[in-house]
Amino acid sequence: MSNVHLLDHPLVQHKLTLMRRKEASTNSFRRLLNEISMLMAYEVTRDMAMQDIEIETPLEPMHAKVIDGKKVVLVSILRAGTGILDGMLSVIPGARVGHIGLYRDPKTLTAVEYYFKMPGEMEERDAIVVDPMLATGNSAVAAVERLKELNPKSIKFVCLLTCPEGVKTMQEAHPDVPIYTAAIDRELNSHGYILPGLGDAGDRIFGTK
Ligand code: URA
């Protein structure tokens, strides 16, 4: 699986296991997702471009490096993407935010768009698309397709969990977009859920079940 970055750091794996448990409360699920998202942000921004600025330490002036956080746009696929977005924003506070509203047609499992709002000057920005579950891959493919119309400098896709079917669909449609994930689970069931997975990420984040 080329272009897939498996984030197998023990802290990420430990927190993911706690989230998968059906006993995990909404509160702890959300908190753990927030923490994992911060750790994922650390990995996904590893090759981020930096610039030199002039500062003064208490002893002398120097040139020092900073990230231009405003050039980064975090693109959240509604609604579950919000869970990752919050954690990532706490470590990249200068990032801009875009939203794509997609729902899965329960019969066809295809993605239907109902909302799309991005910051301006997208051609100058590095986009990080976030959605906890890369399952059928249909939403991710549709979101990236829409985003590409705005020609961002780069696109990365971050999820918490995926499966071989989701990776295949995404890589066939967008081989240029790297996928960052904490796990590649066994398979997709006939309802489009990842097995063993963690259930419906949106319901677990928002307590709507
Ligand atoms: N979306 C979810 O929330 N969970 C899955 O297992 C698949 C898609």
Protein residue whose Cα sits closest to atom 2 of ligand 1 = 200
pLDDT at 2 (0 to 100) = 77
- pLDDT higher for 110 or 165? 165
Residue 70, pLDDT above cutoff 80: no
Residue 103 near ligand 1, beta carbon < 6 Å: no
Q: What is the DSSP string of the chain?
A: -TTEEE---HHHHHHHHHHHSTT--HHHHHHHHHHHHHHHHHHHTTT--EEEEEEE-SS-EEEEEEE-GGGEEEEEEETTHHHHHHHHHHHSTT-EEEEEEEEE-TTT--EEEEEEE--S-GGG-EEEEE-SEESSSHHHHHHHHHHHTT--SEEEEE-SEE-HHHHHHHHHH-TTS-EEESEE-SEE-TTS-EESS-S-HHHHHHT--
Any catalytic annotation for residue 185? Answer: no
Within 10 angstroms of residue 31's Cβ, the number of other Cβ atoms is 16
Any catalytic annotation for residue 17? Answer: no
CA 177 to ligand 1 center in whole angstroms:
21
Distances (CA, A) of 147 to 1, 111, 151, 201: 23, 14, 7, 23
- Calculate mean pLDDT across residues 159-176: 97
d(CA 199, CA 59) in angstroms, rounded, equals 55
Residue 200 near ligand 1, beta carbon < 6 Å: yes
User: pLDDT band at 106, cuts 50/70/90?
Assistant: confident
- pLDDT higher for 48 or 181? 181
- Calculate mean pLDDT across residues 145-171: 97
Q: Which two tokens stand for residue 114?
A: 């109902």
Residue 166, pLDDT above cutoff 90: yes
pLDDT at 69 (0 to 100) = 62
CATH number listed for the domain at residues 4-48+72-206: 3.40.50.2020
What's the pTM? 0.93
Q: Where are the domains of the chain?
A: 4-48+72-206
Q: Is the dihedral of CA 61, 65, 71, 76 positive or negative?
A: negative
- From the CA of 195, give the closest atom in ligand 1: 6
Among 26, 68, 104, 110, the one annotated catalytic: 104
User: pLDDT band at 110, cuts 50/70/90?
Assistant: confident
- The whole-chain average pLDDT of the chain stands at 94
Residue 102, pLDDT above cutoff 90: no
Residue 161, pLDDT above cutoff 90: yes
